Amino acid sequence: MSEGAQYPRIGVGAVIWRGADVLLVKRARMPRAGEWSLPGGKQQTGETVAQALLREVAEETCVEIEVLGLVDVVDAIFPATDEGPAFHYTLIDFSARYVAGEACAGDDAQEVAWVPFGELARYELWSQTVRVIERSAQLHGPLSDAAVP
């Protein structure tokens, strides 16, 4: 592993619901640069997980959210290659509800998109991201008991 990846870094991510739409970001930086994913980023020293999530979502997407609950914890491990260093992130993923703001590509994002839940396959998401979104849909999104009128 590269020196910068000796220890796992803690990352936070949010499945942000606006009705049946999910907010996705196209990553601007490694790892997964150019790929669609959930908004989020690294927790900073002195920040709670909740503070990190609210900050990262605002910086990356320009939107405000309300955190609904924990979805899962996922390890993203990328071995070193000729193209780049090793990365290891422990990702803490939450469900959230959109509150305010016009979604825009800020900070670490190339693009943002509100995507209908049924159209996520078009974005070629990492299998763990798909699993987390589906779990969030069951717990807090359009497939939850709370979403049924």
Listed by start position, the domains of the chain span 3-139
User: Residue 13's CB: how many other CB atoms inside 10 A?
Assistant: 26
Q: pLDDT value at position 102?
A: 96
CB 76 within 8 A of CB 89: yes
Q: pLDDT value at position 57?
A: 97
Q: pLDDT value at position 81?
A: 76
What is the distance between the alpha carbons of residues 107 and 124, in angstroms, rounded to a whole number?
Answer: 22
Q: pLDDT value at position 87?
A: 83
Q: pLDDT value at position 82?
A: 77
pTM: 0.88
CATH of region 3-139, choose from 1.20.1560.10, 3.40.50.720, 2.40.50.70, 3.90.79.10: 3.90.79.10
Write out the two tokens for 36: 């669609």
Q: Which residues contact 21 (CB under 8 A, 6 or more apart)?
A: 114, 115, 116, 117
**Low-confidence stretches of the chain (pLDDT beneath 50):** 1-4, 148-149
